[in-house]
A and B are shown apart, each in its own frame.
Chain A
Amino acid sequence: MHLDHSVETQRTVRTKKKVKRSPKAKRQERAFWLFISPWVIGFICFTGGPIIASLFLSFTSYDIVSSPIWVGLGNYIHLFSDFLVLKSLSATAFYALLAVPFTIILGLLLAILLNQKVKGQAFFRTAFYAPSIISGVSVAFLWSWLLNPDFGVVNSLLKQLFGIDGPNWFNSTNWVIPSMALMQLTAVGGTMVIFLASLQQLPKELYESAALDGAKGWAKFIHITVPLISPVILFNTIIAIIGSFQIFTQAYVITQGGPDWHSYFYVYYLFDTAFSQYRMGYASALAWVLFIIIFVLTMLSLFVSRRLVYYEYENK
């Protein structure tokens, strides 16, 4: 009975699709599903399912204890009048505005420097990259100590060497965001390595023919290097934007969002809303807005770069 039924369905499938699948192909397809089954389970339970749940929750008011109450667009409307949304978004945008160009320019300059043929090249490459191993909480404390207004080595050196009274860094409403961006100095290694890898792949012939035409170092950089690595610049920029909008650890460890909310970043606000106040519905709406912001910024980068990025295959 059971056997007959399965033969029947197979026949109908076959006549519908008009494709004959060999037993080997079928066996392979079953094996494929078996091999990817961990991902399928993980996706349904921890990504796909939660995406739908999150979207639903964002239209409700939910405090975990009582069941969710449908509020329609209430959460999204409330966002526009929420002072802390404005405050945290502007803090995050200001940070991204400083940190993204800083990371890209510094990463590119260091990569060019490390691409020069000099003795000890391997040593310099390791030494420049090594600090980016230190990340998370440790690097936050390190910078908090380096930039300590009273006993920090940076302000002490500024006083000692230049007679300048350094700013209050993380304790100053004006300097807290630039200080956070400055911390990228330790994290720039990753960006630098990606640039370095792309520089090493550049064809030498182009530089030689440019040199024959009398091109100097700067002209070669602007007219050959930058266009050729522009896809990598775009990639690093998008990654840096996404990373900047998710900044959390530094603020949580060093400033707790202060002084006076000036480093209360968007994800910090989202975290507090969800896990200190248990306003899960509103926090879900905040998460979706973050997704939309990141998505729009990525698309915008791709759109703006269409004229600026040079892809080799287009000219072939």
Chain B
Amino acid sequence: MTTQSKKNYVHDEYGWIRKIMIYVLLILGLAFFLLPVVWMLSTALKTLPETQAFPPKWIPSFQWHNFVQVFKEVPFGRFTWNSVWYTIVTVCSTTFFSAFVAFGFARLKARGKAVLFGIVLSTMMLPPQVTMIPQYLIFNKLGLVDSYWPLIIPTIGGSAFTIFLLRQFYMGLPKELDEAVEIDGGGYFTIFFRILLPLSMPGMATAAIMEFMYRWNDLIGPLIYLSTPDKYPLALGLANFTAAFAQTPWNLLMAASIIAILPPLLLFFFAQKYFIRGIVISGTKG
């Protein structure tokens, strides 16, 4: 007891200087991270002449109608709807099929399983640029270019990362559960749909969020396949936003960017722990 307090005393001699330094650094970091976002919001609420003021004005004149204007200048409502349905469909499909496949790899014994799983993992190493061109040629042959099909159909194979993530999750669930179902006369489908799938909801949420972030932000996929502006998702619509103007309307562009990041941001604030878990799992797999 006495040695413990003595040690704390010695340690705390310069402790307060350290504490202050840590706080100064934290607040400095906070400024660096948050000011760009504050500036984005401030710009979105300005008139165009205001955006060009020197010295820069941090408090805008609150032009809330900029957010309405965005929808009038370009078919932004259309883009938003396209992004929403496309993301929902691909996230559901990828997560479900990945879970299905992950169950096979986690719970069922078969010859050659290790080799097959090795192939799943190795496809994560392959840069997507290698398969991008033949995939385009296939969908071009099928006459499906300029539709969402080329972006949706490949999701039936699941994603290697999600399969890996969910397999890890299933391996962590006790095998006695499966045996209990088998004793009751249930087959593998019962084990998967009634037991493992409901129990792995936290894992599914993590996987779905990571897939959501990828789909919502992906530019190159829609850029390759979609050519009719009415079909654009937000990422592509936003990238072409300035085309309608002679001079870049920075206030409207920032307002449009904010609309595009709002869904991921809301999701983050409601499901923060799943975000962090997903990143940590992806970081510890190596």
Contact = CB atoms under 8 A, between A and B. Distances in A.
Residue among B119, B131, B224 facing the most chain A CB atoms (10 A cut-off): B131
Interface string A135-159: 1111001110110101101001101
Contact of B279 (A136, A143, A194, A235): A194
B158 A38 contact: yes
Contact of B131 (A50, A146, A246): A50
Interface stretch (A29-37, A87-95, A97-105): A29-37
A116 B133 contact: no
A71 interface: no
Interface in A104-160: 110, 113-114, 116, 118, 124, 126-131, 133-138, 141-143, 145-146, 148, 150-151, 153, 156-157, 159-160
A273 to B, nearest CB: 10
B97 interface: yes
A138 to B, nearest CB: 4
A194 B101 contact: no
A141 B22 CA distance: 32
B131 A25 contact: no
> Which of the listed residues A41, A148, A287 has the most CB atoms from chain B within 10 Å of its own CB?
A287
B109 A146 contact: no
A51 B135 CA distance: 10
A221 interface: no
Nearest to B283: A194
Interface stretch (B23-31, B63-71, B198-206): B23-31
B280 A194 contact: yes
A310 interface: no
B185 to A, nearest CB: 14
Nearest to B150: A46
Contact of A142 (B19, B36, B108): B36
A171 interface: no
A264 interface: no
B250 A32 contact: no
Interface string B110-130: 110100100110010111011
B29 A246 contact: no
A126 B30 CA distance: 10
A43 interface: yes
B156 interface: yes
Interface string B133-150: 111111010000000000
B7 to A, nearest CB: 9
A245 B125 CA distance: 13
A287 B283 contact: no
A145 B279 CA distance: 29
B37 interface: yes
Question: Interface centre among B34, B134, B136, B163, by most A CB within 10 Å?
Answer: B134
A197 B133 contact: no
B158 A32 contact: no
Nearest to B117: A36
Contacts of A190: 279
Interface string A221-239: 0000000000110111010
Nearest to B282: A194
B216 to A, nearest CB: 8
Nearest to B108: A32
Contact of A35 (B29, B134, B188): B188
B220 interface: yes
Interface stretch (A2-10, A72-80, A172-180, A247-255): A247-255
A138 B219 contact: no
A283 interface: yes
B34 A136 contact: no
B214 to A, nearest CB: 9
B55 A156 contact: yes
Contact of B219 (A148, A249, A294): A249
Nearest to B11: A211
Given A33-B110, A193-B276, A185 B32 contact: yes
A96 interface: no
Given A28-B110, A35-B103, A35-B104, A157 B119 contact: no
Contacts of B236: 137
Given A128-B30, A137-B238, A246-B129, A235 B100 contact: no
Contact of A29 (B111, B234, B238): B111
15 contacts: A29-B111, A35-B188, A39-B120, A42-B156, A50-B131, A110-B29, A113-B22, A129-B276, A134-B265, A137-B217, A137-B235, A153-B39, A249-B219, A252-B219, A288-B130
Given A141-B253, A267-B129, 5 more contacts: A133-B264, A135-B213, A135-B217, A151-B51, A159-B54
Top-4 shortest CB links A-B: A42-B157, A35-B104, A194-B283, A136-B217
Interface of A: 25, 28-29, 31-36, 38-39, 41-43, 45-47, 49-51, 53-54, 57, 64, 110, 113-114, 116, 118, 124, 126-131, 133-138, 141-143, 145-146, 148, 150-151, 153, 156-157, 159-160, 185-186, 190, 193-194, 197-198, 231-232, 234-236, 238, 242, 245-246, 248-249, 252-253, 267, 270-271, 274-275, 280, 283-284, 286-288, 290-291, 294-295, 298
Interface of B: 19, 22-23, 25-26, 29-30, 32-34, 36-37, 39-40, 43, 51-52, 54-56, 97, 100-101, 103-105, 108-111, 113, 116, 119-120, 123, 125-127, 129-138, 140, 154, 156-158, 163, 187-188, 192, 213, 216-220, 223-224, 234-236, 238-239, 250, 253-254, 257-258, 260-261, 264-265, 268, 272, 275-276, 279-280, 282-284, 286
